[in-house]
Amino acid sequence: MLVLIVNQNLMLSRLILLVTGLFFALIATIAAYQFMLPVLAGGILSLFLYSPSQRLHQFSRLPLTLCITIIILCFCTASTGLIIIVGALFWNDIVRLVEQIPALFKMLADAVQNSFYQLLPLITKIENWTHSKGLIPDYTTDSLLRSLEKQFTELIQKAGEVLFIELSLFLSTLPGMLFETVITLLSSFFFIKERERLTLKIKALLSSSFRSHVKKVAAAIRFYTWSYVQAQMLLTAITAVIVLSGLLILKIDGAPAIALAAALLDLIPLIGTSALFLPWIFYCWINELNSLMIGLIIIQSLLVASRQILEPKIIGQTLGIHPFITFLLIYLSFQSFGFMGIIFSPLILLLISTFIKSGTASLIKEYIKNGTVLK
């Protein structure tokens, strides 16, 4: 009996120690995200540029420092060229859309008011029925409807103003991002150059079996992450093609920029293209733009159908996590990292799924139960 109590206390203490360690790791991650994001980005970038740098070094026999510099310059050149091409294709449309955002949201607010006016006969019938039954006093119904209309209209107008301000601030901070880009590239350079030395120091602290498990986990993370990124790129490309084709058929101005915005929205969990098309469809319905409304409904239906058909297979094969846990983690990511947490939550889910599939969860369970890990 005494041995059982002691074992239970040891298990509880190990569980508390593990939870405490995870808590401090989360705090450190949040702090690193807030204060060292360019350095973290440089570390991630170094994972992609390390192999090309080593191959160039082995093939050309040039100094490693020079090879790393060449690879980083090639990466910067390719990225800059891509940005210039995208800017040349979409910049004017993007700026025009940003300038029109307040007017578009005002039009949507006016459409909401018009919808209240159109529903007024039905609301009047409901009011008369509630008054005849004595369920709600006259002044309560009137004040409730006026308050609802006013608050909803103000919400749409404020949302448009906030979105316009945020996009304007983002566009204005693009030149200031140059310094952070330089820090990212320098961090990537040093991570690539010192990777072997850091790896040797870490290996000296770990046992051979633990190193083998870490190597297995790293390989699984690379495989599943790349598979997931490829799948999302395919889904995003399909979204962009559907939206662009539909808007060109409908003869909408700025169709390429809208298609790009829809593709970017499609990457955001729980939001997607509905944030773009549902208000647009509602506005067309209120203003009796029936042909445009039907076209937008067809586009949104095609997007939803393609997602429903393709996404379950992709998410099921790569993540394999229950939808409620997915939703909970997205919420926690939003609370911890803000809007960027929503964007990166699929990758966090992917890491958790990879840890489970690679047996790391079993090792944690073994540690809590018996206090042993890989030796």
What is the reported pLDDT for 313?
Answer: 61
What is the reported pLDDT for 122?
Answer: 62
- pLDDT tens for the chain, 375 residues long, are 555 565 666 677 777 777 787 777 777 777 776 777 788 888 888 888 888 888 888 888 888 888 888 998 998 898 888 878 877 776 666 666 666 666 666 666 666 666 666 666 666 666 666 656 555 555 455 555 556 556 666 655 565 555 666 566 665 666 667 777 888 888 888 888 888 888 788 777 777 777 777 777 777 777 777 777 777 788 888 888 898 888 888 888 777 878 888 888 887 766 778 878 887 887 777 777 788 888 888 888 888 888 777 765 665 555 666 666 666 776 777 776 666 666 677 777 777 777 777 777 777 777 667 666 655
- Report CA 27 to chain centroid distance, whole Å: 20
